[in-house]
Structure 1
Amino acid sequence: MAITPEGVDAERRIELVERPPTEEVVTHEELRELLETVERPRHYIGLEISGPLHLGSLVIVGYKLRDFVEAGFRTTVFLADWHSYLNDKLGGDWDRIRRAARYYADAYRTFAPGIEVETGSDLYARTPEYWEWMVRFSKKVTLPRVVRTLTIMGRRAEESLEFAQYIYPLMQATDIKALDLDLAHGGMDQRKVHMLARDVFPRLGWRKPVAVHHHLLPGLQAPRAEGLDEDSQMDLRISSKMSKSKPEGTLYVHEPPEVVERKLMSAWCPQGVVDNNPVLEIAKYIAFRERGELRVERPSKYGGDVVYGSYEELERDFREGKLHPMDLKRAVVGIVNEVIDPVRRILTADEDYLRILGT
């Protein structure tokens, strides 16, 4: 008999975990076994404190957090302040990183009620065994294997790095042990370190976590591979993801409606091109998630208004040239502003938010 939280059917729990933006579950069989034996499994996603939050880092992640909460998981957002420092986020300014963590916590709690928030500093302070566990883990890993995981930091293997940055993946894996997790979650760019943990943990007698990886929302610019992964398709996806390093291609959740509109209306969205099209992806992962449909308003001479009941219908019309890019963009703008507005109001009410996060 499956163990389920009150009011949540066992199959519904699996459906919620596997629901888009999830792209991969490792493995489906282990997930089912977990949900049949543990009433409130422990889940986490680890996030760097790296700058202003955007559609990819808050909204796409937040949707998945909501799914885990509804599925009865004990869901934790792990604000990786030490990792942010190692990876030189916010200029490597430790005080700034710690202060910015408060804004991240407020944003995620607002967008995904029911989550828990923890910082790396708090975890390590209360876990004296942490550094022993990290050393034990590192004894099972070769340097070349560590180097191959550096894409989790957005780093190329051939980059000249500080030695401390090589312990980043070791710490990320040890976090899973220290948080006593049943399930580790991240974007597809975090897959390598999760696979490393799943490989090494059994050799240490530690529980192997189920791993869930969600879709990476692309930035608004044309896709471009930058050599961040040896697999060409994964390289394109990681290199093109929405990132604060490409501000004009990023929709920040604090930006006023007119800026969101300007950026979306100038986004890369060639007629008939559906692969890696950022506006179509926003429609797929955000508009249909919010409303279950997409309403496109246009003059009768251009076909009149149309309501798409599924993403597949929308993609087909766009591919066949029946939907113009500008009409698609206009349909998406209002939904994006509606989705981010509650968080935008909270963040912009505090004058320190933009100053601390460097915009």
Structure 2
Amino acid sequence: MEAMQEVVTPSELEQVLARGDVTGYIGIEPSGLLTTAQAFQIARSLRLLHEAGVHMTVLLADWHAYINDKLGTDMDRIKRCGAYLQAAFEAMGVDGERTRYVWASDFAKDDGYWELVVRTLKASSLNRIKRALTIMGREEDESELDSSKIIYPAMQVSDIYYLDVDIALGGMDQRKAHMLCRDVAGKVGKAVKSPVALHFALLPALTGGSVRDDPVAAKMSKSKPDSALLIHDTPEDIHRKLKKAYCPQGELDDNPVTELCRLIVFPNAGELTIRRPEKWGGDMHFTSYGMLAEAYGSGQLHPADLKAAVADALAELQRPVRERFESDPIHEEFAVTQ
């Protein structure tokens, strides 16, 4: 599947899709405003899976957000944030008829779910569980601060078993949980599925960093608003943030501006126009990321011109979301002061 950075495994995915009546899931913590990276990568992945005939479940992981200390561990706010997430994805064109939204707190009422959590913990070493804490955006040793965090990876694995899905979707930062789910499926003592794992790429923070080397520290994060684009940012906000973004001349690797082109602009808009005065070479028009990468890598395109064009493109792509919430600003309580 071309939108994914990793498929575990391609042959299993082929078999599952050929069988038909396929189900999948993605879990999201209701923890605040959606970043541009998170929103577009998830929405695009959901649309592509819908087109492939997959029935998708979005798990609004409220108890997970509570364990992860999000929104002041205020469950009422976490619930309101979950409703906001659903509205945001619908504003981005995710088909509500083919997407089911469920709450983790509904699972917590079922003894069968907690049996899966315990069985997953029994089938996993403590070290393996601690290594998986990075799925929370945490380091391994942070489990020492709050013992509830140690069950988070087992809860995420059990979410997948409990939903009985064929596909587990997430960013590359969720890989450790998905691999744990696959590895212990035959050891939990219950008839559970070992899902195909689909992982989409993460976008680096605007300040730079390698999401390959350290996805937790380097990815866009709403906790650092000026290092991330948010789906509610005004065109002025987007231009201001991108103007300061890390974008070394001629370099493509770990460049957040070119990655925005590769992962968001071209997949969603299909083209990008660079507006330049004739004395600086005139306008440039690209219809693929490959074309843009060649021009930027060879020095034909200046970072300032690229930033301005990307800001215009993103402002237009995010316009439906901004308009959706203008008359119903339920997102405002989740804003982080810059």
CA contact (8 A) 1:254 1:348 kept: no
Residue 26 (structure 1) aligned with residue 8 (structure 2): yes
The Cα shift of 1:161 comes to 2.6
* Aligned Cα root-mean-square deviation (Å): 1.6
Change (3 A) 1:246 1:40: same
- Aligned with 1:52 (options 19, 27, 33): 33
Q: Secondary structure at the match of 2:65?
A: helix
- Aligned with 1:251 (options 229, 235, 255): 229
- Aligned with 1:77 (options 42, 58, 62): 58
- Aligned with 2:137 (options 151, 154, 161): 154
Q: Secondary structure at the match of 1:76?
A: strand
Corresponding residue for residue 114 of structure 2: 131
- Aligned with 1:289 (options 267, 271, 282): 267
Instruction: Give the distance between the partners of 1:263 and 1:173, measured in 2 at CA.
Output: 36
Residue 35 (structure 1) aligned with residue 8 (structure 2): no
Unmatched tracts of structure 1, length 5 or more: 1-17, 225-232
Instruction: Give the distance between the partners of 2:81 and 2:66, measured in 1 at CA.
Output: 12
* Residues 334-356 of structure 1: per-residue CA shift (max 9 Å, x gap): 21111111112223422442124
CA contact (8 A) 2:58 2:99 kept: yes
* Residues 130-170 of structure 1: per-residue CA shift (max 9 Å, x gap): 11111112111110110110110111112333110000000
Q: Secondary structure at the match of 1:97?
A: helix
The Cα shift of 1:65 comes to 0.9
* Residues 172-212 of structure 1: per-residue CA shift (max 9 Å, x gap): 00000111111101100100111111011122332111100
Question: Normalized against structure 1, the TM-score is what?
Answer: 0.88
Q: How does 1:101-112 map to 2 (within 5 A)?
A: 101-111=82-92, 112=94
CA contact (8 A) 1:80 1:120 kept: yes
Corresponding residue for residue 202 of structure 1: 186
Corresponding residue for residue 160 of structure 2: 176
- Letter aligned with residue 133 of structure 1: L
- Letter aligned with residue 189 of structure 1: D
Instruction: Give the distance between the partners of 2:224 and 2:334, measured in 1 at CA.
Output: 19
* Residues 63-101 of structure 1: per-residue CA shift (max 9 Å, x gap): 111111111110111110000000001121122111211
The Cα shift of 1:293 comes to 2.4
Corresponding residue for residue 278 of structure 2: 300
- Aligned with 1:309 (options 287, 308, 319): 287
Corresponding residue for residue 215 of structure 1: 201
When the two structures are aligned, how many residues end up with a matched partner? 331
- Letter aligned with residue 25 of structure 1: V
Question: Normalized against structure 2, the TM-score is what?
Answer: 0.94
- Letter aligned with residue 268 of structure 1: Y
| The 10-residue stretch of structure 1 (285-294 or 44-53) with the greater mean CA deviation from structure 2 | 285-294
CA contact (8 A) 1:138 1:170 kept: yes
Instruction: Give the distance between the partners of 1:271 and 1:176, measured in 2 at CA.
Output: 43
Q: Secondary structure at the match of 1:251?
A: coil
Moved over 4 A (4+): 356-359
